[in-house]
């Protein structure tokens, strides 16, 4: 996950007077970034943010915590520190969306009416699709997963440290669903090998990457580059192997193939990447895609360029929940938050949305400690490098430095609506 290059643009001042009631569902990067922007762009609007989570997590830093580069404190902040003055915060989860009646329902049964809605609920990690998986067991018995929380990232580092002392068989997994930070499973693989090398345990170890797809990354030039690197590093790859079940105590994983066969594999270390989907409140609502490739995950049905809902024009989506061809990274939010805020203001003013999102996504792909590739691309899978110093498919210390030192300050500027 990345926030992309740092920008110093100053958001426009309040331009539209309105009494509109705006509800933002979700208090992650997307929801808070849009709240900050709208509070500046609108004069008199009633903005309500709905999210039970009080801790704000810098998720792009999870891979750094999980590989021993950062302490866990660096990914933990408080949402209260970033919300603009005047925004009402309802500290509950949204349990139901009713776009026909223009209202949401929260966990306590409270109903909040809106004139405009921004859906920023992120993804649901669907560990339930893996039989036997227990998120609470991460860190023990060689079980790792960087995604669920700062605690899971920290526990993953503990599991990795234990594994690199002894070596053995490592299994790295990738599900078939869209996922946030599609580069994270690759970074974890590169860094696991690097830690084995540092511990002098490479000869005693085997790393096998198990992909449920026919590739390891959705952009072909990146996919081919990574596979080439892994071949040179001795990392094996199996395609069309979906993690279906896990026996944590016995350290055995069961993979399913498209032909319906199952393959059991023992391991000493396994990195579990869960299938991902929209949360139940979105998935079970009229806001979700009803057909097409995004319907199965219940993703939000937005126009991929304006990020306005295709059937409910007073609804917009931002971030991981959007059912769009690419873009589940912090960099996606950096590029799209100004567009969503602008297009929503246009709608309030009775004008058509006139700013377009190109699907910009960025991934600083760590290849070893002290080296990374900064990969940026759009909806079409075209590489869109923004920094002249960095060649996208070449590893460099500068790309590592960006990931390690520069991207969190850039992320916080996005969160505060400043870039």
Radius of gyration of the chain (CA): 21
The residue assigned the tokens 């870039």 is 419
CB atoms within 10 A of CB 17: 11
Assign 216 to helix, strand or coil: coil
Residue closest to 411 by CA, chosen among 105, 41, 28, 52: 28
List the one residue out of 220, 186, 228, 195 whose CA is nearest residue 364.
186
Angle between helices 407-415 and 330-348 (to 10 degrees): 20
Give me the DSSP letters along 320-366: GGB-SSS--SHHHHHHHHHHHHHHHHHHHTT----------EEEEEE
Element (H, E) at 106: strand 103-106
Residue 279 appears among annotated catalytic residues: no
Residue ranges of E strands in 114-226: 116-119, 124-125, 143-144, 168-174, 205-211
Of 248, 363, 366, 419, which residue is the catalytic one? 363
Instruction: Estimate to the nearest angstrom the gap between the alpha carbon of 139 and the chain centroid.
Output: 22
Other residues' Cβ atoms within 10 Å of the Cβ of residue 333: 28
Catalytic residue among 33, 125, 155, 181: 181
Spell out the residues 6+ positions from residue 163 whose beta carbon is closer than 8 angstroms to its own.
142, 170, 192, 268, 269
Residues in the chain: 419
Residue 264's nearest CA partner among 254, 273, 272, 274 is: 254
- List active site positions: 181, 363
């Amino acid at each position: 996950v990345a926030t992309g290059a740092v920008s110093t643009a100053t958001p426009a001042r309040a331009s539209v007077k309105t009494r509109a009631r705006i509800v933002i569902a979700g208090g992650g990067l997307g929801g808070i970034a849009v709240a900050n922007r709208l509070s500046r762009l609108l004069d008199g609007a009633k903005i309500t943010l709905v999210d039970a989570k009080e801790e704000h997590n810098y998720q792009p830093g999870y891979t750094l915590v999980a590989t021993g580069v950062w302490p866990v404190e660096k990914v933990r902040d408080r949402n209260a520190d970033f919300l603009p003055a005047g925004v009402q915060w309802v500290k509950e989860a949204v349990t139901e969306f009713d776009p026909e009646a223009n209202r949401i329902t929260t966990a306590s049964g409270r109903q909040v009416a809106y004139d405009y809605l921004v859906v920023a609920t992120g993804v649901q990690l669907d560990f339930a699709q893996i039989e036997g998986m227990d998120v609470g067991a991460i860190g023990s018995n060689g079980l790792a997963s960087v995604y669920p929380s700062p605690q899971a990232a920290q526990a993953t580092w503990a599991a990795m440290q234990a594994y690199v002392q002894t070596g053995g068989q490592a299994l790295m997994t990738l599900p078939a669903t869209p996922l946030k930070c599609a580069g994270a499973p690759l970074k974890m693989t590169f860094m696991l090998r690097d830690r084995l090398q540092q511990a002098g345990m490479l000869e005693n170890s085997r790393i096998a990457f198990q992909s449920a797809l026919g590739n390891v990354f959705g952009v072909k030039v990146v996919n081919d580059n990574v596979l080439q690197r892994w071949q040179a590093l001795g990392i094996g790859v199996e395609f069309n192997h979906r993690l279906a079940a896990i026996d944590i105590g016995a350290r055995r994983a069961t993979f399913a193939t498209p032909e319906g066969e199952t393959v059991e594999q023992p391991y000493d270390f396994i990195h579990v990447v869960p299938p991902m989907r929209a949360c139940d409140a979105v998935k079970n609502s009229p806001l979700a895609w009803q057909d097409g490739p995004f319907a199965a995950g219940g993703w939000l049905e937005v126009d991929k360029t304006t990020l306005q809902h295709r059937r409910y024009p007073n609804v917009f989506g931002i971030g991981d929940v959007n059912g769009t061809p690419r873009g589940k990274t912090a960099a996606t939010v950096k590029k799209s938050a100004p567009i969503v805020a602008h297009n929503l203001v246009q709608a309030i003013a009775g004008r058509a949305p006139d700013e377009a999102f190109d699907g910009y996504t960025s991934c600083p792909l760590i290849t070893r400690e002290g080296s990374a590739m900064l990969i940026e691309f759009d909806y079409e899978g075209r590489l869109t490098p923004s920094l002249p110093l960095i060649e996208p498919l070449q590893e460099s210390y500068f790309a590592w430095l960006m990931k390690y030192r520069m991207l969190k300050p850039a992320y916080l500027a996005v969160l505060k609506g400043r870039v």
